[in-house]
Amino acid sequence: MKDILDMGDYGVYVWSCYGLVLAVLVLNVWLGRRSLAEQLLHARRRLKMNSEPS
């Protein structure tokens, strides 16, 4: 198992790259969901404003 994690003395670079990619993917999903929630909220507010009688 240690040989797999070390990867011929390149393990630090390989695993840090995997960690960085994972962090970017998680951030991308989180920011996308947050943006979607904000856009839905704005759309609901616009619909509510337009449907109120004048």
Reduce the secondary structure of 3-47 to three states and give it as a string.
HHHHCCCCHHHHHHHHHHHHHHHHHHHHHHHHHHHHHHHHHHHHH
The pTM of this model reads 0.72
For residue 5, pLDDT over 70 is answered with: yes
What average pLDDT does the segment 27-54 reach? 93
Q: Model confidence at 37, in pLDDT bands (50, 70, 90)?
A: very high
**Dist. CA 34–CA 18, nearest whole Å:** 24
Q: pLDDT digit string (tens) for 43-52?
A: 999 999 988 8
Tell me, what's the pLDDT at 33? 98
